[in-house]
Structure 1
């Protein structure tokens, strides 16, 4: 059920994005003849007066179709309500509406969570949690005997305490002591385990042991003082998430070699969402808001096959007074689409191979 909840979150965000494009077109009187949730074979469809609504087999996607290039369309090519015949501003509104819809939806998700569940805070407990250990049997953590769920209480006799600073201290010790043995005091269930781990020298010259670290403790929520505070606090949280997402994207571009392995595909996103749904279902609102903001920011990038790429074509048209030749636009968009599909397939295979259940098949 938790996996279905995570998939449902992604499906809703995609519907919101495509609904933004669709409503922006229809409210301006622009024809839109298809509205599909998902890709692949059609499972269910309904033919409205102007639009075919469909649910397709693979829910992690969707699209709004326009009759401009539909060979079966009976609409005259010079009809002013075809998207391509509208002024640049009208087309820009339609193209950017998906991104705007995702941002607005993310904000109201945060307001809803804060208003009904409360403001999220964290009740720290001693130590640093190790929620995940690299599946590679040759990793330093695996060799040392560190297991998922362990809580690191101390490193080299230094207590990690009850704060976010514990993660910083542990990371510093690991990164600054490559190829040197470090003594760790762990809590495993009700037992205290003492072991030694030797960080490996990474490509960046820093030590690494192959684990993911998280604060140890529990999420707590505090009620807000009314609807006005819910909207205000929601705006602050929305700003924080947006800034962090943009900064993360900037780090990915500027330091791609070291951050590329952190890119996650739909399978990994579903896995994370499933874990959240299983452990703290109320946090699904914030998870959905985070994914919605990411979807918006990524889509607005000026890359082929994304909304930002189409806006870039409109900008060129506005500057030179005429659109780029159709052949050039189609070639760029098709190349970009193939690259995105290739990246998507790669991420799906990579994330699927790293799932715990798949890993156990090969042990």
Structure 2
């Protein structure tokens, strides 16, 4: 009954979730496929279709190059289909390529050299990272970032901070050699490094003090009902204080956008590595239902928050596609790496087996993520 209630509540607010979800996913998928498309066009590959979504076409048009641009029924991805592809995963149609005239072979994806094929495949994830940097840059330039000094007002008794020797009035200026410009920046580093010893450089009344502290691991529930495992130091900042919303010039905002993108890459990579090694729980992996829920909730915070979520999701999609799994871009790049070492492509049979294994893995991952979503809804 709890599960039905959760699903019923979700379904009852369909538009509340659906519109932000479609916005976020459409933007991320479009730019991912646009990366493939643009580099393929530059390399002289004939492109048959550019689709946002899978399944039957809802709307589309054909451009002067013969490419069919379309929106499809199932908005959970997209694809660019190249001339000579057997399917939307860009598996080669070996017989068709072998029987092509020379001009047609040169216009096909699989008729291109190894470097061109690798560049076309890598362009999708790279476009996702570029999109994230651009979004962060625009946010930091036009809206800004909330900034407050990393000043300690209160030290929680018996906490990691108390044990390390923090005192009220301390201003944290650096962590592990990285300069700290705000309390929120300090919080983010601490929260993402539970049970990891960190070195803090502190300004204490004009005197520099170096302290070592290990944030304690704590589990909290975020506003979306998910359980997060974070690090807690045990300090509280000055409430109000000299906090300001600061806008940045475009160059500074761009550099900050690069840093923000790398931070998400680093933390996502660390989490995935933790899942593989067993140090992180896989229950945080979410699928379309979770993305829809979070998109709807974040949209209520404003368009800037939804853009920020779009950037984070774009990075996640880029990283996911770089995993060395056949069917994903990383799987294609793995095949090309093997081809570069061997001096010739893998056999059609070997690639077919690889694609089948990759498809099975992707389907299992989708089922697992969806099951996590359903369990999450049941606990709302």
TM-score by length of 1: 0.69
1:294 correspondence with 2:330: no
- Could you tell me whether the CA contact under 8 Å between 2:144 and 2:248 is conserved in 1? no
Q: Quote the residue 1:112 is aligned against.
A: 138
Helix, strand or coil for the counterpart of 2:276? Answer: helix
1:231 to 251, 254, 274: 254
1:331 correspondence with 2:347: no
Helix, strand or coil for the counterpart of 1:60? Answer: strand
Q: How far did 1:116 drift?
A: 0.9
What is the alpha-carbon distance in structure 2 between the residues aligned to residue 97 and residue 37 of structure 1?
A: 17
Q: How far did 1:59 drift?
A: 0.9
Tell me the alpha carbon deviations over residues 15-49 of structure 1, each in whole angstroms, 9 at most, x when there is no partner: 10011111111111111111111112221122334
1:101 to 103, 127, 132: 127
Helix, strand or coil for the counterpart of 1:80? Answer: helix
What is the alpha-carbon distance in structure 2 between the residues aligned to residue 98 and residue 359 of structure 1?
A: 36
Q: How far did 1:350 drift?
A: 3.4
What is the alpha-carbon distance in structure 2 between the residues aligned to residue 221 and residue 241 of structure 1?
A: 24
1:32 correspondence with 2:58: no
1:259 correspondence with 2:275: no
1:55 correspondence with 2:71: yes
Q: Quote the residue 1:193 is aligned against.
A: none
Structural mapping, 1:261-276, within 5 Å: 261-276=283-298
Q: Could you list the runs of 5+ residues in structure 2 that have no partner in the other structure?
A: 1-14, 87-92, 151-155, 163-167, 169-182, 195-216, 222-226
Helix, strand or coil for the counterpart of 1:90? Answer: helix
- Could you tell me whether the CA contact under 8 Å between 1:242 and 1:293 is conserved in 2? yes
What is the alpha-carbon distance in structure 2 between the residues aligned to residue 7 and residue 82 of structure 1?
A: 32
Structural mapping, 1:7-156, within 5 Å: 7-48=22-63, 49-70=65-86, 76=100, 78=102, 79-121=105-147
Tell me the alpha carbon deviations over residues 278-313 of structure 1, each in whole angstroms, 9 at most, x when there is no partner: 134322222111111111112112112111110111
Q: Could you list the runs of 5+ residues in structure 1 that have no partner in the other structure?
A: 125-153, 173-205
Superposition RMSD in Å: 4.0
Change (3 A) 1:36 1:309: same
- Could you tell me whether the CA contact under 8 Å between 1:16 and 1:101 is conserved in 2? yes
- Could you tell me whether the CA contact under 8 Å between 1:6 and 1:277 is conserved in 2? no
Change (3 A) 1:68 1:104: same
What is the alpha-carbon distance in structure 1 between the residues aligned to residue 248 and residue 219 of structure 2?
A: 44
Tell me the alpha carbon deviations over residues 227-246 of structure 1, each in whole angstroms, 9 at most, x when there is no partner: 23222322222222222222
- Deviates most, 283-292 or 247-256: 247-256
What is the alpha-carbon distance in structure 2 between the residues aligned to residue 36 and residue 209 of structure 1?
A: 40
- Could you tell me whether the CA contact under 8 Å between 1:35 and 1:52 is conserved in 2? yes
- Could you tell me whether the CA contact under 8 Å between 2:45 and 2:83 is conserved in 1? no
What is the alpha-carbon distance in structure 2 between the residues aligned to residue 23 and residue 98 of structure 1?
A: 10
TM-score by length of 2: 0.66
What is the alpha-carbon distance in structure 2 between the residues aligned to residue 320 and residue 52 of structure 1?
A: 36
Q: Quote the residue 2:374 is aligned against.
A: 352
Q: Quote the residue 1:303 is aligned against.
A: 325
1:250 to 273, 298, 304: 273
Q: Quote the residue 1:5 is aligned against.
A: 20
Helix, strand or coil for the counterpart of 2:53? Answer: strand
- Could you tell me whether the CA contact under 8 Å between 1:118 and 1:221 is conserved in 2? no
- Could you tell me whether the CA contact under 8 Å between 1:117 and 1:221 is conserved in 2? no
